[in-house]
Amino acid sequence: MSKEPAAETTPDDLPDDTLGWRVAVLELAPPVAASLTFIAGLVLLASAAQPALPDRLNALLQAWPLAAAELSHFLASIAGVLLLIVADGLRRRLDGAYWLTLGLLGAGALFSLLKALDYEEAIILTLIALLLIPARRAFYRRSQLTGALFSGPWLIGVALALALVTGLLLIAYHDVAYRDELWWTVLRDQDLSRSLRALAGAVVVGVLVLVRSALRPHRKSPSGDKAAADLARAEAILARAEGARGEANLIFTGDKRFVFSPSGQSFLMFRPRGNLWIGMGDPVGPAADRLDALLAFHAAADAACASPALYSASAALLPQLIELGYAVRKIGEVAHIDAARFSMDGPARARLRQTWNRFKRDGWRIEVVPPGGAVDWPALKSISDEWLAAHGGHEKCFSLGRFDPDYLTHFPIAIAGKDGEPPAAFSSLWPSADKGEIGIDLMRHRSGTPSGLMDILFIGLIEWASAEGYRIVDLGMTPLAGISRARYAPSMNKIGAAIYEHGEDLYGFKGLRSYKSKFAPDWQPVFIGAPGYVSLPIALAQAAILTSGGLKGLFAK
Cβ neighbours of residue 18 closer than 8 Å, sequence gap 6 or more: none
Split at pLDDT 50, 70, 90, the class of 43 is confident
Give the pLDDT confidence of 53-106 residue by residue, as tens digits: 677 767 766 766 766 677 777 788 788 878 888 888 888 888 888 988 999 999
Are 40 and 182 in a shared domain?
A: yes
Q: How many CA atoms lie within 13 A of 335 on its CB side?
A: 20
The predicted pLDDT at position 21 comes to 58
- Please give the Cα distance from 272 to 256 (Å, whole number): 9
- Work out the percent of the chain whose per-residue pLDDT is above 90: 42
Split at pLDDT 50, 70, 90, the class of 2 is very low
Range with lowest mean pLDDT among 108-117, 366-375, 400-409, 532-541:
108-117
Are 284 and 361 in a shared domain?
A: no
Range with lowest mean pLDDT among 359-363, 422-426, 525-529, 546-550:
546-550
Q: Which of these, 172, 190, 169, lies nearest to 181 by C-alpha position?
A: 190
Inter-residue contact 339 to 472 (CB < 8 Å): yes
The predicted pLDDT at position 405 comes to 94
Domain boundary among 214, 249, 273: 214
Are 315 and 370 in a shared domain?
A: no
Are 439 and 402 in a shared domain?
A: yes
Beta-bridge partner residues of 415: 367, 426
The predicted pLDDT at position 550 comes to 67
The CATH number that applies at residue 325 is 3.40.630
Would you tell me how many other CB atoms lie within 10 Å of the CB of residue 420?
6
Are 397 and 366 in a shared domain?
A: yes
pLDDT at 233 over 90: yes
Are 260 and 361 in a shared domain?
A: no
Inside any domain, residue 319:
yes
pLDDT at 499 over 90: no
The predicted pLDDT at position 168 comes to 58
- Work out the percent of the chain whose per-residue pLDDT is above 70: 73
Rounding to the nearest 10 degrees, give the CA dihedral for residues 214, 216, 219, 220.
Answer: -60
The predicted pLDDT at position 89 comes to 84
Split at pLDDT 50, 70, 90, the class of 19 is very low
Angle between helices 152-172 and 191-214 (to 10 degrees): 160
Q: Compute the average pLDDT of residues 440-463.
A: 91
Inside any domain, residue 306:
yes
Domain boundary among 333, 360, 393: 333
- Please give the Cα distance from 281 to 544 (Å, whole number): 14
pLDDT: which is higher, 7 or 356: 356
Cβ neighbours of residue 363 closer than 8 Å, sequence gap 6 or more: 418, 419
Measured CA to CA in angstroms, residue 452 lies from 193, 354, 358 at distances of 87, 10, 10
- Give the DSSP letter of residue 445: E
Spell 99-125 as b/e; 16+ CB within 10 A means b: bbbbbbbebbbbbbbbbbbbeebbebb
- Please give the Cα distance from 266 to 284 (Å, whole number): 5
Q: What is the largest CA-CA distance in the chain?
A: 110
Q: Compute the average pLDDT of residues 476-499.
A: 73
The CATH number that applies at residue 455 is 3.40.630.30
Are 71 and 128 in a shared domain?
A: yes
H-only helix segments in 49-118: 54-61, 66-91, 95-116
Range with lowest mean pLDDT among 82-96, 162-176, 429-443, 508-522:
162-176
User: CB burial class (10 A; 0-12, 13-18, 19+) of residue 186?
Assistant: middle
Inter-residue contact 256 to 272 (CB < 8 Å): no
Inside any domain, residue 532:
no
Cβ neighbours of residue 219 closer than 8 Å, sequence gap 6 or more: 272, 304, 305, 306
Kindly give the pairing relationship between strand 267-273 and strand 276-280.
antiparallel
Average pLDDT taken over every residue of the chain: 80
Inside any domain, residue 387:
yes
Q: Which of these, 265, 263, 270, lies nearest to 237 by C-alpha position?
A: 265
Question: Structurally, how many domains does the chain consist of?
Answer: 3
Q: In what order do the strands lie in the sheet with 257-260?
A: 257-260, 267-273, 276-280, 307-314, 522-530, 327-338, 472-479, 437-445, 425-431, 413-418, 364-369
pLDDT: which is higher, 535 or 145: 535
- Give the DSSP letter of residue 219: -
The predicted pLDDT at position 268 comes to 97
The predicted pLDDT at position 407 comes to 95
- Please give the Cα distance from 271 to 543 (Å, whole number): 9
Are 312 and 356 in a shared domain?
A: no
pLDDT at 557 over 90: no
Beta-bridge partner residues of 268: 259
Give the pLDDT confidence of 347-369 residue by residue, as tens digits: 888 888 898 899 989 899 999 99
Q: Compute the average pLDDT of residues 39-59.
A: 75
Phi/psi of residue 270, nearest 5 degrees: -155, 170
Compute the C-alpha angle 148/149/153, nearest 5°.
70
Inter-residue contact 389 to 383 (CB < 8 Å): no
Phi/psi of residue 314, nearest 5 degrees: -85, 165
pTM: 0.73
Domain span holding position 299: 224-333
pLDDT at 150 over 70: no
Q: Which of these, 315, 322, 324, 270, lies nearest to 292 by C-alpha position?
A: 324
Are 19 and 146 in a shared domain?
A: yes
Q: Which of these, 281, 429, 445, lies nearest to 379 by C-alpha position?
A: 445
Split at pLDDT 50, 70, 90, the class of 319 is very high
- Please give the Cα distance from 58 to 33 (Å, whole number): 35
Are 11 and 145 in a shared domain?
A: yes
Give the pLDDT confidence of 507-545 residue by residue, as tens digits: 666 777 888 888 889 999 999 999 999 999 899 989 989
| Residue 550 Ramachandran class (φ > 0 left, ψ -120 to 50 alpha, else beta) | left
Range with lowest mean pLDDT among 4-13, 96-105, 358-367, 418-427:
4-13
Angle between helices 21-48 and 66-91 (to 10 degrees): 150
The predicted pLDDT at position 81 comes to 78
pLDDT at 4 over 80: no
Cα 456 to its chain centre, rounded Å, is 41
The predicted pLDDT at position 249 comes to 96
Q: Which of these, 402, 394, 457, 401, lies nearest to 424 by C-alpha position?
A: 457
Split at pLDDT 50, 70, 90, the class of 258 is very high
Inside any domain, residue 230:
yes
Range with lowest mean pLDDT among 33-42, 124-133, 473-482, 534-543:
473-482
Inside any domain, residue 533:
no
The predicted pLDDT at position 171 comes to 62
pLDDT at 430 over 70: yes
Are 357 and 311 in a shared domain?
A: no
- Please give the Cα distance from 22 to 234 (Å, whole number): 35
pLDDT at 190 over 50: no
pLDDT: which is higher, 165 or 410: 410
Are 110 and 139 in a shared domain?
A: yes
The predicted pLDDT at position 548 comes to 82
Inside any domain, residue 22:
yes
Domain boundary among 333, 367, 389: 333
Inside any domain, residue 556:
no
Q: Compute the average pLDDT of residues 264-285.
A: 94
Inter-residue contact 438 to 471 (CB < 8 Å): no
pLDDT at 253 over 90: yes
The predicted pLDDT at position 94 comes to 85
N residues, the chain: 557
Split at pLDDT 50, 70, 90, the class of 6 is very low
Would you tell me how many other CB atoms lie within 10 Å of the CB of residue 497?
18
